[in-house]
Copies of this chain bind each other. A is one copy, B any other.
Amino acid sequence: MESKDSVTIVVFSGELDKALAAFNIANTAASMGMKVSMFFTFWGLSVIQKGKSGRGKKDTLQYMMGKMNRSGASKLKLSKMNMMGMGGKSMKSLMKKYRMPSLEEMITLAREQGVEFVACTTSIALMGLEKGDFIDEVDRFAGASTYLGLASESNVNLFI
Interface residues of A (CB under 8 A from B): 2, 4-5, 7, 10, 12, 14, 17-18, 21, 24-25, 28-29, 31-32, 34, 41-43, 61-62, 64-65, 68, 79-81, 86-87, 90-91, 93-95, 98, 100, 122, 125-126, 128, 143-145, 147-149, 151-160
Contact = CB atoms under 8 A, between A and B. Distances in A.
17 contacts: A2-B4, A12-B160, A17-B42, A24-B122, A24-B144, A28-B147, A29-B148, A32-B149, A34-B148, A61-B90, A61-B93, A62-B94, A68-B87, A91-B126, A94-B126, A98-B126, A156-B157
A33 B56 CA distance: 41
Contact of A21 (B12, B68, B143): B12
Given A64-B86, A65-B90, 17 more contacts: A7-B148, A10-B158, A12-B21, A12-B160, A17-B42, A17-B43, A21-B42, A28-B148, A29-B144, A43-B80, A62-B94, A68-B80, A68-B81, A100-B122, A151-B156, A154-B155, A159-B159
B80 A64 contact: no
Nearest to A7: B148
A128 B93 CA distance: 12
